[in-house]
Structure 1
Amino acid sequence: MSVKTFELISTTENNIELISYVALPDTASNDTPAPGILVAPEWWGVVEHPKSVVERLAEAGYAAVAMDVYGEGKLTTDAAQANMWMEQVLEDQDMLMARCRLILNDFSDQLAVDGNNLAAIGYCFGGKIALDMARDGMPLKAVATFHGNPSPKQPADKNFTAKVLVAHGRDDSMVSMDAIEGLKLELDAADVDYTIDVYDNAKHGFTNPHADERAAKNEVDLGYNEIAAKQSWENMLEFMKANLA
């Protein structure tokens, strides 16, 4: 299936441009809009990996957008820089969620996107963002995270209506199994429907083909695992197929 891509620019109240990246299947149109998936990238910003994710989602029949939560299209391969940007937006999580809501609204306003059939996917830092969007009651039917940070902006409650799929690496030194147990307790308390898949021999960043290169450059404990990446992607597609009409 051929794919159409373009930049989606959302302007915040204080005139910061959020330059997100959209991919649409060529079958999506005003008459037959496609279900929409918002992708929250790793802390690097909208780099090659999230762009390839939204293109692969479009090839699978979904409209998808990689969200520029930092603004101005900022991206990096330097972990110290990425960490600084992440900490800056985490200092004001209401602002971060307002940016996500703005992108969600602008994306779902596209005529080729079915705004009644939305989901979110998050990677690493983006896993927290995707879960927090559901915790904030955004109209998502499904949330999938890959090696995601589960720490909540506020705990899930009755506003959390999305179903959840978590793909976690057993050897992840940045997000512990204890953190995943904490997420289970949180979602159980809010009666959220969730599935947690734990992948053996998988480190933090296991879905990103650039993980080993980034690990070497930045001396951080990341690693790509082709088997876990492929299986978790297939599980996510099945999950989306079951939850998006």
Structure 2
Amino acid sequence: MSIKTFELISTTENGIELISYIALPENASDDNPVAGILVAPEWWGVVEHPKTITERLAKAGYAAVAMDVYGEGKLTSDAAMANMWMEQVLEDPDMLMARCRLILNDFSDQLAVDGDKLAAIGYCFGGKVVLDMAREGMPLKAVATFHGDLTAKQPADKNFKAKVLVTHGREDSMVTMDAIENLKKELDTAEVDYTIDVYDDAKHGFTNPNADERAAKNDIDLGYNETAAKQSWDNLLEFMKANLG
């Protein structure tokens, strides 16, 4: 399926430009709006990996947007810089969620996007972002995380309406299996419908083809696993089909 891509610029109330990246199926239009998926990137920002994800989603028939939560299109391959930016936005979680809501609103206002059929997927740091969006009660039908940070801005409650798919690597040294158990308890308490898939021999970052290179450059425990990446992508498309149509 042919697609079109463009930048979506959302301006915060204090004038910061969030430069997100949209991919749409060529046939999506105001007469033929399609379901929309927000993509929250890893801590590197809107680099090649999340852009590729949005393009793959568009080829699968969805409108998709890679969210620039840092603002000004900032991106890096340096872990220390990425960590600093991530910590800066996490210091003000209300601001971070306001940025996500702004991007969600601007994205769903696109005539080619069906604003009643929205979902979000997140990678690593982005996993926390999308779970927190659902915890805040944003209008998402489905949320998926890949090797995601599972810590909560506040625990899920009755406002959490999204179905959840959690994709995790058993060898992830950054997000432990204990964190998975804690998330299960949180979601059970809020009566959230969830599925957790754990992949053997998969480390943190296992969906990102650049993970090994980033690991070597930054001396951090990341790794790409092609088998887990492919299987989890197929599962994601099934999950989205079930929840967005």
| TM-score, normalising length: structure 1 | 1.00
- Per the alignment, in what secondary structure is the counterpart of residue 5 of structure 1? strand
Counterparts of 1:77 and 1:223, CA distance in 2:
15
1:228 corresponds in structure 2 to 228
Paired with 2:169 and 2:186, the residues of 1 have a C-alpha distance of: 20
> What CA deviation, in whole Å up to 9, does each residue of 1:114-173 have, x standing for no partner?
000000000000000000000000000000000000000000000000000000000000
CA distance in 2 between partners of 1:39 and 1:244 (Å): 15
Report the counterpart of residue 74 of structure 2 in structure 1: 74
Q: Distance in 2 between matches of 1:233 and 1:159?
A: 27
Aligned residue number for residue 102 of structure 1: 102
The CA RMSD measured in Å over matched residues stands at 0.3
Q: Deviations over 1:183-218 (max 9, x none)?
A: 000000000000000000000000000000000000
1:57 and 1:100 map into 2 onto residues whose CA distance is 19
Aligned positions of 1:157-172 closer than 5 A: 157-172=157-172
In structure 1, the partner of 2:238 is 238
Separation (CA, whole Å) in 1 of partners of 2:101 and 2:218: 32
Q: Distance in 1 between the 2:167 and 2:155 partners?
A: 20
Q: For 2:120 and 2:92, locate their aligned partners in 1 and report how far apart those are by CA, in whole Å.
A: 21
Matched pairs, number = 245
Give the C-alpha shift of residue 39 in structure 1: 0.1
Letter of the structure 2 residue corresponding to residue 67 of structure 1: M
Q: Secondary structure at the match of 1:23?
A: strand
What is the identity, as a one-letter code, of the residue corresponding to 1:109?
A: D
SS in 2 for 1:216: helix
- Provide the C-alpha distance between the structure 2 equivalents of 1:113 and 1:234, rounded to a whole number of angstroms: 23
DSSP-derived class of the 2:150 partner: coil
Q: Percent identity among equivalent residues?
A: 83
**2:196 partner SS:** strand
Which residue of 2 is the match for residue 140 of structure 1? 140
2:191 aligns with 191
Output aligned runs, 1:26-65, within 5 Å: 26-65=26-65
Shift of 1:27: 1.6
Q: Secondary structure at the match of 1:117?
A: strand
C-alpha distance in 2, partners of 1:104/1:196?
25
Give, in whole Å, the separation in 2 of the partners of 1:102 and 1:172: 32
Which amino acid is the alignment partner of residue 16 of structure 1?
I
| Secondary structure, aligned partner of 1:54 | helix
Who is 1:116 aligned against? 116
Query: Helix, strand or coil: the match of 2:73?
Result: coil
Structure 2: 5+ residue runs without aligned partners?
Answer: none
Runs of 4+ deviating beyond 6 Å: none
TM-score (norm 2): 1.00
Match of 2:208 in 1: 208
* Aligned-pair CA distance for 1:77: 0.1
